[in-house]
Amino acid sequence: MIGVLLVLLLLPFLLYIAAPQIRKMLSSGVCTSTIQLPGKVAVVTGANTGARVYLACRDVQKGELVAREIQIMTGNQQVLVRKLDLADTKSIQAFAKGFLAEEKHLHILINNAGVMMCPYSKTADGFEMHMGVNHLGHFLLTHLLLEKLKESAPSRVVNVSSLAHHLGRIHFHNLQGEKFYHAGLAYCHSKLANILFTQELARRLKGSGITTYSVHPGTVDSELVRHSSLMRRIWWLFSFFIKTPQQGAQTSLYCALTEGLEVLSGNHFSDCHVARVSAQARNETVARRLWDVSCDLLGIPVD
């Protein structure tokens, strides 16, 4: 009995000591690319060197703090913050219009922003929040910047998805969650949509010089769980083992920067390696239909 109590008392301390090694094991993927990006232009959404990097985010004040931190750490002063609310198509259009007027090139687009486990709510345009922000918002943004990406080829689009896509399904009869809704599953559905979008985009852009990739960043210490008190407690409980933002960015950086990755366009990556996706995520028929439905919802002509 005394031995059991001793173990229970020592367990938190032992976990604290072992945490760096455990985190290292869970964060095995590291982008080792040393490629330089002088003159290149990149857009990263949800960002509350050498390249000119646009942090496109809803909260400009927080974005400015992040930009300043990046400038200090990297010495790259070409980190710019612009307003982008993916829950409002007018904001997306305004951002794209401003960017296209400001820049002649776009080499890297990282669709990183997202929401998770929101109570049922809708975007400014009436879309269910997860599907509206995580999928439709990035779908529209990519569409509006596509010609600039083509003109700047070779260029890349990286869509941040999640391992949670394995629990996702695309219910076309309930895409906006009006018939039934579960906050956790709504997130999973939107992450499945990210992968299907990536695959269909790769198919449509074959030979254009634009390549696309979806990524699972891992479980990262971020504000993504802000809408769920349960998830915040779980994040806190396992905080020693959760990836830092820097570790969580490695696979996105790998797909954005690694040379010779063009032949793997359309693939899904985790820890800087190609990862298996669910059967639903490999369904080309669903991917094509989701593309058409997304175009219809956003008022984009279907080609």
The verdict on residue 28 lying in a domain is no
- The pLDDT value recorded for residue 158 is 98
User: When comparing pLDDT for 242 and 215, which is higher?
Assistant: 215
- The pLDDT value recorded for residue 225 is 55
Instruction: Please determine, for residue 26, whether its predicted confidence score (pLDDT) is greater than 70.
Output: no
Instruction: Please determine, for residue 68, whether its predicted confidence score (pLDDT) is greater than 80.
Output: yes
Which of 72, 86, 30, 76 shows the shortest CA–CA distance to 54?
A: 76
CATH number at residue 122: 3.40.50.720
The verdict on residue 25 lying in a domain is no
* Ranges 64-68, 84-88, 195-199: which has the least confidence: 64-68
The verdict on residue 291 lying in a domain is yes
- The pLDDT value recorded for residue 130 is 97
Instruction: Please determine, for residue 178, whether its predicted confidence score (pLDDT) is greater than 60.
Output: yes
Instruction: Please determine, for residue 15, whether its predicted confidence score (pLDDT) is greater than 50.
Output: no
Q: Which residues are catalytic?
A: 187
**259-294 pLDDT per residue, tens:** 999 999 999 999 999 999 999 999 999 999 999 999
The verdict on residue 67 lying in a domain is yes
Between CA 128 and CA 170 the distance in angstroms is 13
**202-239 pLDDT per residue, tens:** 999 999 999 999 999 987 665 655 666 666 666 565 56
Residue 77 belongs to domain spanning:
39-218+245-298
Share of the chain above pLDDT 90, in %: 68
Instruction: Please determine, for residue 8, whether its predicted confidence score (pLDDT) is greater than 50.
Output: no
Instruction: Please determine, for residue 253, whether its predicted confidence score (pLDDT) is greater than 70.
Output: yes
Which amino acid makes up residue 231?
M
Average pLDDT score over residue span 105-121: 94
- The pLDDT value recorded for residue 39 is 77
Q: Which ranges in the chain belong to alpha helices (H)? A: 2-26, 60-74, 89-102, 129-130, 138-151, 183-204, 229-237, 245-248, 250-257, 284-298
- The pLDDT value recorded for residue 48 is 56
The verdict on residue 5 lying in a domain is no
74 — pLDDT class (breaks 50, 70, 90): confident
- The pLDDT value recorded for residue 131 is 98
29 — pLDDT class (breaks 50, 70, 90): confident
The verdict on residue 34 lying in a domain is no
Q: How many domains, in total, are found in the chain?
A: 1
Instruction: Please determine, for residue 247, whether its predicted confidence score (pLDDT) is greater than 60.
Output: yes
Mean pLDDT: which of 24-38, 39-53, 159-173 is highest? 159-173
- The pLDDT value recorded for residue 236 is 60
Q: How many CA atoms lie within 13 A of 125 on its CB side?
A: 20
The verdict on residue 237 lying in a domain is no
Which of 180, 163, 159 shows the shortest CA–CA distance to 171?
A: 180
Which of 7, 69, 80 shows the shortest CA–CA distance to 43?
A: 80
Q: What is the pTM of this model?
A: 0.86
The verdict on residue 13 lying in a domain is no
